[in-house]
Every structure is written in structure tokens, then in C-alpha cells.
């Protein structure tokens, strides 16, 4: 059983490269300060590492 991570969008992806916007959308984030819960897998951890300046992992 894997744990969950909560990911929060803290900065707007406006003005960022398209690739970074697609990562944010792929995580299911649309609004600022929105929090989503995802499985704690290397896939989602890697997505978070691609845009650390836009996201926070909520403990």
C-alpha cells in the first residue's frame, strides 16, 4: 500500500513554458491554492520535481 502526497499550486503557470503548463494540468491542478491528492509514486514525484517553483508538497 503506497501513501498519498498532497500537492498545492502556489504560483500561476501563466508565462511558463508549455511543457511546464502541461505538467501542472497533468497533476490535475487548475486553480491557485488548489490541493490535489495523488499516490506517492516515482511518477508523481518526478512531475513535482519538474516544476518545484510552482508547487508545494503539503505534509
Residue 35: domain span: 4-58
CATH number of the domain residue 11 falls in: 3.30.1390.20
Banded pLDDT at 59 (limits 50, 70, 90): confident
Model confidence over 14-58: pLDDT tens digits?
999 999 999 999 999 999 999 999 999 999 999 999 999 999 999
Is this model's pTM higher than 0.85 or not? Answer: yes
Confidence of residue 10 (pLDDT cuts 50, 70, 90): very high
The three grid cell numbers given for residue 49, joined into one nine-digit string: 520535481
> Which residues lie below 8 Å from residue 37, measured CB to CB, with a gap of 6+?
4, 5, 6, 7
Domains held by the chain: number:
1
Strand-pairing partners, residue 35, are 8
Amino acid at each position: 500500500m503506497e501513501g498519498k502526497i498532497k500537492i498545492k499550486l502556489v504560483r500561476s503557470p501563466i508565462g511558463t513554458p508549455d511543457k511546464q503548463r502541461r505538467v501542472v494540468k497533468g497533476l490535475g491542478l487548475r486553480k491557485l491554492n488548489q490541493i490535489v491528492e495523488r499516490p506517492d509514486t516515482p511518477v508523481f514525484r518526478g512531475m513535482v520535481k519538474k516544476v518545484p517553483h510552482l508547487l508545494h508538497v503539503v505534509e
